[in-house]
Chains A and B, each alone.
Chain A
Amino acid sequence: MPLKYGPSIGGAVVLGEIKIDRERCKGCELCVHFCPNDCIIMEDGFNRRGYRPSSFINIDKCSGCAVCARVCPDIAIEVWR
């Protein structure tokens, strides 16, 4: 994995990454609201069930805090740190 400059937590640089299962997502927008670094937005399109899913966009800013995953009611998010 190429070196990236990630967000700083307590002085150390922490890299994080998430993967959103857009077919499980019901578009509740809680992850968007709770991400401390604005890494997630709502898509314009629809998934197979007719929901507008969320999408991970700000890869550089993710610290892997996993709040998005823990608040997601559909366990649609996996997190790496």
Chain B
Amino acid sequence: MQKVFERTKGLTDNEFSYCPGCLHSVVHRMIAEVMEELDIIQNTICVCPVGCAVFMYDYMACDVIEAAHGRAPAVATGVKRVLPDRVVFAYQGDGDLASIGTAEIVHAAARGEKISVIFINNTTYGMTGGQMAPTTMIGQKSTTCSRGRDPLVNGYPIKVCEMLATLDGPSYIERVAPTSPAGLVKTKKAIKKAFQNQIDGKGFAMVEVLSNCPQQWHMTPIETFKAIDEQMTKIFPLGVFLDR
């Protein structure tokens, strides 16, 4: 018998403080495995967001910078421009990337900034207690739209992949959902490609991962997977939006 799965060297040994069933650490693990497989742990700088993943610096074995809320793409730009031979990636939630950080992500993408962005979209401000996010779906309840998102008041959810795919700068944009064995494989493959593109000198690569929030959605983890598969993928369709 051979060991076929154990903890990657790309992660520290710390226990994750995420809620039970939260997909953040699943994605952290995939990123860490990609870093190990591409042998870039010591060459990589991670820029982490404000949100539940603010503590990402406790989990990744590479260098980590905690950015101000929404500014991770700008911070990553600062690093990559002065250290072009390193691998620099930003990891952000939907509040961080698509609300306060809308300008920063658009311009990093438009500049074709040679960074990789992992965008965790769970339609919720998890860390602060479950407020509405720019990707909250119509009818979905939150603590700042207690009757469900009303388009007349709050407009419509933002589809980041589709939006950024209109730009000439990016080299690769894909949306995935790690809610099934096949989905787990696809998600890791997409993350690996986003990193490989950077290593190959291509511009801006982003993977949007449809994710969950068992705590603020008031669901069990398995129920959240079902919600992602049945509801989120209708509004945020999976697939490759750009691959140059």
Q: Which residues of A contact B (CB under 8 A)?
A: 1, 15, 17, 24, 26-30, 33-34, 51, 64-67, 69-75, 77-81
Contacts and interface: CB of A to CB of B under 8 A. Distances in A.
Given A17-B1, A28-B221, A75 B7 contact: yes
Given A30-B221, A34-B181, A74-B16, A81 B1 contact: yes
Interface in B1-21: 1-7, 11, 15-16, 18-21
Query: Which interface class (under 10, 10 to 19, 20 to 34, 35 or more) fits B?
Result: 20 to 34
B184 A74 contact: no
Contacts of B5: 66, 69-70, 77-79
Contacts of B19: 26
Contacts of A64: 4
B48 interface: no
A30 B184 contact: no
A31 to B, nearest CB: 10
B20 A75 contact: no
A29 B221 contact: yes
Nearest to A70: B184
28 contacts: A1-B1, A17-B1, A24-B15, A28-B214, A29-B21, A29-B221, A30-B21, A33-B225, A34-B181, A66-B4, A66-B5, A70-B26, A71-B26, A71-B178, A71-B181, A71-B184, A72-B26, A73-B16, A73-B21, A73-B23, A73-B24, A74-B16, A75-B7, A77-B5, A78-B5, A78-B6, A78-B7, A80-B2
